[in-house]
Amino acid sequence: MTDHRPALATARNDDQTADLASNLYEHVRQLNLATAGPPSLTLPGTAYTILGNLSAATYGLDQVLDQINRFFLRELQADRLGHDQAEDLADVLSRHGQALAEARQHARALCTALSDAQATINAVHSRTTRGREARPTPAGKTHVDDVGVAAAANDFPRPITDPTLLAPPPTGIRNRFIRTRRANTPEA
């Protein structure tokens, strides 16, 4: 049931590291679509595997968040950071560190909750009975309760940057979810 793929080589520059985070978002989005039901989620074992992998992923987030915090502290100590609005960097990074510490606590709690959820369904299995068999949805057909999904699927997929999906943001406001690439140059 598991299709373990080896991890890609370690990122060798900032762009590749940022791409890893972008790919994480994309994989979660695809997982959201896949877990909506048949044909991609029909077995309890699949749900069990998903919960285990999500638990492992959230366990790893704790380390990522700690390493990001340590990066900023090293850069501050080496005097390689500046601030666009000339705010006190020690104060900014203190608030940043507190936010990351809280995020790390949430990641650990989520890891524990996902592990508990996985353990709870350990003995659950599929049982085929008359009239209750999980059948994949034929292409182009939807279940009665999936009517809204079918309507949305007519023009899916659309990239998140499609101008017809959202009104443009007010001038001067930057969307925090859109990653832009900056050149590796010292910042003012």
Q: Is residue 152 part of a domain?
A: no
Kindly tell me if the per-residue pLDDT of 39 is higher than 80: yes
- Residue whose tokens read 């007010």: 170
DSSP string over 57-80 = HHHHHHHHHHHHHHHHHHHHHTT-
5 versus 86: the higher-pLDDT residue is 86
173-177-179-180 Cα dihedral, nearest 10 degrees:
-10
Model pLDDT, residue 160 = 52
pLDDT digits (tens, 9 = 90+) for 139-188: 555 555 555 555 555 555 555 555 555 555 555 545 454 444 454 445 44
pLDDT value for 35: 93
- Within-domain flag for 160: no
Domain contains 89:
yes
Domain limits for position 94: 43-125
78, part of any domain: yes
Does 135 have pLDDT greater than 60? no
Is 113 a domain residue?
yes
**Residue 71 confidence (pLDDT) above 90:** yes
Question: Is residue 59 a part of any domain in this protein?
Answer: yes
Question: Helix and strand tally (H, E) in the chain?
Answer: 4, 0
Overall number of domains in the chain? 1
Residue at 74 is within a domain = yes
Q: Which two tokens stand for residue 32?
A: 């959201």
| Mean pLDDT score, 79-86 | 94
User: Contact at 8 Å (CB) between 69 and 96?
Assistant: yes
Q: Residue 38: what pLDDT? A: 86
